[in-house]
Structure 1
Amino acid sequence: MSTPADHEPSKKPLKMPAVPRPSASVLLLSPTNQILLLHRVKKASSFASAHVFPGGALSKTHDGEIPDVDDPGRHQDGPAYRMAAVRETFEECGILLAKSKKTGKLFTEISDAEREQGRRDVHSGKVKFAELLQNWGAVPDTESLIPFTRWVTPPNVPKRFSTQMYIYFLPLGSLSPTKHAAPKAAPPSGATEEEEDAPDLVIPNPTHDGGIEHTAARFLPPHKWISLARQNRIILFPPQFILTHLLAPFLAPTITSPASPTPPLSTLQAEREALLTFLSKPRVYAGEAEVSFAEACISPLVLGKTQYGDVLPDTRRQGLDKGTAVLMLDRPGKEVEAQGLGRRGLKEWVVTTRFAREGPRDVAVWRREELLGSGGKEGKEKL
């Protein structure tokens, strides 16, 4: 059983750090640009009681060859990571990120009963994931996964992972797996009214795994998840918080309640394009070129806690409770640094949080200069 202590940095370095276990996670975006989070059970093997993205550890049985510990591909995007991302998403929420061999579109050509049985069979090891897809006439849509940072658990934490994060956009115009109806908009150029009214795809609603690891699966706008976390109504660990936070300004900003009207397709597409521009645009911080979001490799480093003295200047710790940890995001971790590949993290931001008994609380993202007073122009407020 996992506890919050399994993810809280120890005050003293561990004698023998655990080897980071390769894993993959997906930031799954609905047809209305909302993001899926799963609520972990209290007895989950990791991130107990937290809200997380679909994902999990790589499997040789299902995902193919996993790079060895000393292999340069161990902490790089690769085929096994992508296959694991598709498989774990299917196992954990029932949505299959695969394309039909017949149509080339997202595969939805099975009944709910077939999908759930396949999901159970893969999870139990009764059938290999690739064989299941072959039997169904589907191929994993690994090419549509967009790399969005890698996270390596620090060495002074008992349970460690090297997690490749991805973004995946479910098709616009399909029936959204939320309470919102399919988007109503002017038909694309050349499309008929009938084509507009009849979605090409009906995507199944996400479901939890029956309480094995999750008790709920739900799409919400990124800004709503961040609001719930800021109120401490849900637990988001720093990686989930900052990545959701980065999406919030771009995706579903006008959806504030279930009654909010769904934006037209043109608006939803514009939201996605704006996000992709943000992710792909060369980044500069304090006059220096920054690593891209696709290549960023982050192993959070605890700079200090506010009660430990002059870690933070008095004028910049206002509003931070005693015991608040400051996490730096600019280092890739010792295992990655040892490979000599020049991987880097994100220098522009830092994260603050309190590690409470139930998990991280009061998580917030700050501009680096806002707390540390260097590396750029003075900031004035939390992000």
Structure 2
Amino acid sequence: MTNASHYSTASAPKEKKQPMEPRPSSSIVLLSPTNQVLLLRRVKTSSSFASAHVFPGGNLSDFHDGAVPPPGDLARHEDSRAYRIGAVRETFEESGILLARDKRSTDGSLLVLPASERDVIRRRIYQNEIRFEEWLDSVGGVADIENLHPFTRWITPPATPKRFTTQMYLYMLPVQSSPASSSTPSDPALAAAESEAVLPTPDGGEVTTSVFEDASAWLARQGRGEVILFPPQAFLLTLVSQFCTGPPPASSGAGAAADAGAHYQAQRQALLDFLRTTPTATNPKALKHATSHIPWAQKVISPVTALVRADGRAVLSLERPGPELKGSNRGGDWERVVLVRFAKGTATEVEIRDRESVFEEERAKKGQGKDNAEAKL
């Protein structure tokens, strides 16, 4: 029997709209042999991050990557093999860079394949004509998931129509792959192939450009309005820029290449130590917050609008992990906030700031406004 009350809204309370289930995805903060960061520019017609510069990555695929735990399971939002395979596969599809080890090599070097072969295969994988790992095994390779370092997870805020639970990773291409390295093979053809293997190329579909630049250079370009960075990209680039600060001082002589290699390796080690170390905060007030005891490798961030400034920019707090992880011991970063202006589905004027300084500015403005009002009286 049909219950008429199901169709009556006169006295029924308004139902709260349930947030969309976040879709599993993964991305890689990929460092070049000289510690520059790869960003891809998405086409303006993209359904997500249109025209923005993003890290390589995308949605997980049951066909290629394997299944993840179902909605409602906290493990759905944890690092796993499926997230790692998805990150390597998506990076290959979008940039042509194959993060895979050569099983025939004794030193664990990256698998080197001709660009023409990679371009054909990456399209076939994208179209689900061949399984990624099956193809990789057939050419003597294995996805290098062991060298993916977790570097925060981001869960899209509940009010957003399209949501993701995105595992971010850090991956560092071998320093010796640099043309300036003393370990460059003596075989010119092999040297050229290795250099080509780490040169990004667009995918001809969702990605229009793919370029390595210093993290600080990307942030400077965003500040000048030359590129679009959404909060996760701007935030992680800000963290990386603290350690990957550019090339060493100019030097010459037989030891110059070795000195450069040591310089980049030291930057990498400092960044890896940062990912694992707690407390993550320096501000005395932030040190008291529970999130300061969660290492960067395990932080989960779901931005929430804390306030809107007089200039129209939103202030996003970053300490909450999202409704899917409410009541868990997961969390993000209390010490920093993101200032951003959202308009027509894009982000502009993105700035990473210390939380206390931003809120102190807001308190000062309110106090000044109150003083001005009293003066008029």
Q: Could you say which residue in structure 1 is the equivalent of 2:246?
A: 253
Report the AA paired with residue 219 of structure 2: I
Q: Could you say which residue in structure 2 is the equivalent of 1:110?
A: 113
Q: How far apart, CA to CA, are the structure 2 residues paired with 1:227 and 1:213? A: 24
**Does residue 126 in structure 1 map to residue 129 in structure 2?**
yes
Aligned counterpart in structure 2 of residue 241 of structure 1, from 221, 224, 234: 234
**Does residue 278 in structure 1 map to residue 236 in structure 2?**
no
The answer as to whether partners of 1:290 and 1:346 remain within 8 angstroms in 2 is no
Aligned counterpart in structure 1 of residue 305 of structure 2, from 302, 306, 309: 302
Q: How far apart, CA to CA, are the structure 1 residues paired with 2:38 and 2:336? A: 24
Offset at 1:114? 1.1
**Does residue 363 in structure 1 map to residue 350 in structure 2?**
yes
Report the AA paired with residue 143 of structure 1: E
Q: Aligned pair count? A: 328
Aligned counterpart in structure 2 of residue 172 of structure 1, from 168, 171, 175: 175
Q: How far apart, CA to CA, are the structure 2 residues paired with 1:235 and 1:159? A: 19
Distance 1:254 1:102, change over 3 A: closer
Q: Which has the higher helix share?
A: 2
The answer as to whether partners of 1:32 and 1:252 remain within 8 angstroms in 2 is no
**Does residue 157 in structure 1 map to residue 153 in structure 2?**
no
Offset at 1:254? 4.1
Which of structures 1 and 2 has the bigger CA Rg? Answer: 2
The answer as to whether partners of 1:97 and 1:106 remain within 8 angstroms in 2 is no
Offset at 1:358? 6.4
Q: How far apart, CA to CA, are the structure 1 residues paired with 2:206 and 2:280? A: 40
CA RMSD of aligned residues (A): 2.5
Aligned counterpart in structure 1 of residue 44 of structure 2, from 12, 27, 42: 42
Q: Could you say which residue in structure 1 is the equivalent of 2:12?
A: none
Q: How far apart, CA to CA, are the structure 1 residues paired with 2:338 and 2:347? A: 11
Determine what percentage of the aligned residue pairs are the same residue: 43
Q: Could you say which residue in structure 1 is the equivalent of 2:9?
A: none
- Which range moved further: 43-52 or 104-113? 104-113
Q: Could you say which residue in structure 2 is the equivalent of 1:380?
A: none
Distance 1:284 1:32, change over 3 A: closer
Report the AA paired with residue 277 of structure 1: D
3-state secondary structure, aligned to 2:175: coil
Distance 1:252 1:106, change over 3 A: farther
- Which range moved further: 153-162 or 247-256? 247-256
Offset at 1:371? 1.2
**Does residue 343 in structure 1 map to residue 337 in structure 2?**
no
Q: How far apart, CA to CA, are the structure 2 residues paired with 1:201 and 1:73? A: 38
Aligned counterpart in structure 1 of residue 359 of structure 2, from 372, 377, 380: 372
Offset at 1:194? 6.2
Moved over 4 A (4+): 192-195
Report the AA paired with residue 164 of structure 2: F
Distance 1:268 1:154, change over 3 A: same
Q: How far apart, CA to CA, are the structure 2 residues paired with 1:223 and 1:272? A: 16
Aligned counterpart in structure 2 of residue 264 of structure 1, from 260, 263, 266: 260
Offset at 1:45? 2.0
Q: Could you say which residue in structure 1 is the equivalent of 2:180?
A: 183
Q: How far apart, CA to CA, are the structure 1 residues paired with 2:344 and 2:142? A: 43
Report the AA paired with residue 169 of structure 1: M
Q: How far apart, CA to CA, are the structure 1 residues paired with 2:16 and 2:131? A: 37
Aligned counterpart in structure 1 of residue 206 of structure 2, from 213, 216, 230: 213
Report the AA paired with residue 363 of structure 1: V
Alignment deviations for residues 279-332 of structure 1 (CA, whole Å, 9 cap, x no partner): 22212533334311011000000012113xxxxxxxxxxxxxx21100000000
The answer as to whether partners of 2:152 and 2:299 remain within 8 angstroms in 1 is yes
Q: Could you say which residue in structure 2 is the equivalent of 1:312?
A: none
Offset at 1:278? 2.1
Q: How far apart, CA to CA, are the structure 2 residues paired with 1:354 and 1:205? A: 33
3-state secondary structure, aligned to 1:117: helix
Offset at 1:109? 3.4
Q: Could you say which residue in structure 2 is the equivalent of 1:81?
A: 83
Q: Could you say which residue in structure 2 is the equivalent of 1:354?
A: 341
Provide the TM-score with structure 1 as the length reference.
0.80
Q: Could you say which residue in structure 2 is the equivalent of 1:8?
A: none
3-state secondary structure, aligned to 2:160: coil
Q: Could you say which residue in structure 2 is the equivalent of 1:138?
A: 141
Q: How far apart, CA to CA, are the structure 2 residues paired with 1:73 and 1:149? A: 15
Provide the TM-score with structure 2 as the length reference.
0.82
Contiguous gaps of at least 5 residues in structure 2: 1-14, 250-255, 362-377
The answer as to whether partners of 1:39 and 1:216 remain within 8 angstroms in 2 is yes
